[in-house]
Amino acid sequence: MNGRSAMRLARLQEALAGGGTIHLSEAAKLCGVSEMTIRRDVAASDGAMTFLGGHLMMADNPQFAPVYDLDEQRGSHYLAKQRLCQGAASFIDEGDTLFIDCGTTLMPLLSMLGEFEELTVVTYALNVANAVGTLPNVRLVLLGGLYHHSSQSFGSGEMYDAVRRLGINKAFISAAGVDLERGVSCFHFHEVAPKQAALESALCRILVVDASKLGVVRPAYFAQLTAFDVVVTDAKAAPALNARAGGANRPPRVMVA
Amino acid sequence: MNGRSAMRLARLQEALAGGGTIHLSEAAKLCGVSEMTIRRDVAASDGAMTFLGGHLMMADNPQFAPVYDLDEQRGSHYLAKQRLCQGAASFIDEGDTLFIDCGTTLMPLLSMLGEFEELTVVTYALNVANAVGTLPNVRLVLLGGLYHHSSQSFGSGEMYDAVRRLGINKAFISAAGVDLERGVSCFHFHEVAPKQAALESALCRILVVDASKLGVVRPAYFAQLTAFDVVVTDAKAAPALNARAGGANRPPRVMVA
DNA sequence: CATCATCTGTTATTTTTCTAACATTTTTTG
DNA sequence: CAAAAAATGTTAGAAAAATAACAGATGATG
**A147 interface with B at CB cutoff 8 Å:** yes
Of B72 and A86, the one with more pLDDT: A86
Q: What's phi and psi for B148, nearest 5 deg?
A: -115, 115
**Distance to chain A for B237, nearest Cα, Å:** 24
Residue of B nearest to A64 (CA): B20
What local confidence, expressed as pLDDT, does residue A1 receive? Answer: 57
Of B184 and B241, more confident = B184
- Mutation target for A interface from B60, B63, B68: give the one with most A CBs within 10 A: B63
Q: Residue A7: its pLDDT value, please?
A: 83
**Mean pLDDT score of chain B:** 85
For residue A65, the chain B residues in CB contact (below 8 A) are 20-21
Reported confidence tier of residue B57, pLDDT bands at 50, 70, 90: confident
A46-91 pLDDT, tens digit each = 777 888 889 998 876 666 666 654 443 334 455 677 788 989 999 9
Per-residue pLDDT band at B72 (split at 50, 70, 90): very low
- pLDDT single digits (tens) B105-115: 898 898 789 88
Residue A96: count of CB within 10 angstroms of its CB = 18
pTM for this prediction: 0.77
pLDDT band at B2 (very low <50, low <70, confident <90, very high): low
B252 touching A, CB under 8 A?
no
By DSSP bridging, strand A145-148 and strand A138-142 are unpaired
pLDDT at residue number B3: 65
Determine which helix (DSSP H) or strand (DSSP E) holds A233, and give its type and residue range: strand A230-233
CB B94 within 8 A of CB B117: yes
Q: Residue A148 has what pLDDT?
A: 92
Considering only residues A19 and B151, tell me which one the structure prediction assigns the higher pLDDT.
B151
CB pair distance less than 8 Å for B127 and A63 = no
**Residues 6+ away with beta carbon under 8 Å from B84:** B105, B108, B208, B210, B232, B233, B234, B257
Across the interface, whether the CB atoms of B134 and A30 are under 8 A apart is answered no
Rounded CA-CA distance B126/B121 in Å is 13
Please report how the helices B24-31 and B3-16 are oriented relative to each other, as an axis angle in degrees rounded to 10.
120
Residue of B nearest to A61 (CA): B134
Provide the pLDDT confidence category of residue A138 given band limits of 50, 70 and 90: very high
Nearest nt to the CA of B38 via C1' is D8
The model's confidence at residue B69, banded by pLDDT at 50, 70 and 90, is: very low
Answer for the pair B197, B222: CB distance below 8 angstroms, yes or no.
no
Residues B169-217: tens digit of each pLDDT: 999 999 998 999 899 999 999 999 999 999 999 999 999 998 888 888 9
Q: Which of A22-31, A57-66, B227-236 has the lowest average pLDDT?
A: A57-66
Residue (of B145, B143, B148) closest to B100 by Cα position = B143
Average pLDDT, chain A: 85
Interface contact A18-B140, CB threshold 8 A:
no
The lowest-confidence range among A204-218, A234-248, B134-148, B206-220 is: A234-248
Cβ–Cβ contact B127 with A under 8 A: yes
Residue A144 burial (10 A CB sphere; 0-12, 13-18, 19+): buried
Q: Which nucleotide is closest to the Cα of B53 by its C1'?
A: C17
Q: Nearest nt (C1') to B35 (CA)?
A: D9
Instruction: For residues B81-90, give the mean pLDDT.
Output: 88
For residue B71, pLDDT over 50 is answered with no
Closest nucleotide relative to residue B4's CA, C1' based: D7
pLDDT of residue B250 exceeding 70:
no
* B231 pLDDT tier (thresholds 50, 70, 90): very high
The string of pLDDT tens digits covering residues B10-23 is: 888 877 766 678 89
Q: What is the mean pLDDT of residues B97-105?
A: 92
The more confidently predicted of residues B122 and A112 is: B122
pLDDT value for B144: 94
Give the DSSP letter of residue B188. -
- The predicted-structure confidence for B216-230, as pLDDT tens digits, reads as follows 899 999 999 999 999
In the structure, how far is the CA atom of residue B41 from the C1' atom of nucleotide C24, in angstroms?
19
Task: Report percent pLDDT > 70 for chain B.
Answer: 87
Q: Cβ–Cβ of B69/A26 closer than 8 Å?
A: yes
Chain C nucleotides close to protein (CB under 7 A) are 6-11, 16-21
pLDDT, position B178: 93
Of residues A196 and A6, the one with the higher pLDDT is A196
CA atoms of A41 and B249, how far apart (whole Å): 52
Tell me: pLDDT of B246 over 60: no
Strand pairing category for B22-23 and B138-142: unpaired
Residues, CB < 7 Å to strand C: A 2, 4-5, 32-34, 36-37, 40-41, 53; B 23-24, 36, 39, 43, 51-54
Measured CA distances, B23 to A53, A64, A68, B40 (Å): 11, 11, 9, 15
pLDDT digits (tens, 9 = 90+) for A93-131: 999 999 999 988 898 898 789 889 999 999 999 989 988
Whether the pLDDT of residue A246 is over 60: the answer is no
Q: What is the mean pLDDT of residues B122-140?
A: 90
Q: Which residue has the higher pLDDT, B118 or A159?
A: B118
Report the residue from B54, B112, B126 with minimal CB separation from A53: B54
Tell the burial category of A100 from Cβ atoms under 10 Å away from its Cβ (0-12, 13-18, 19+): buried
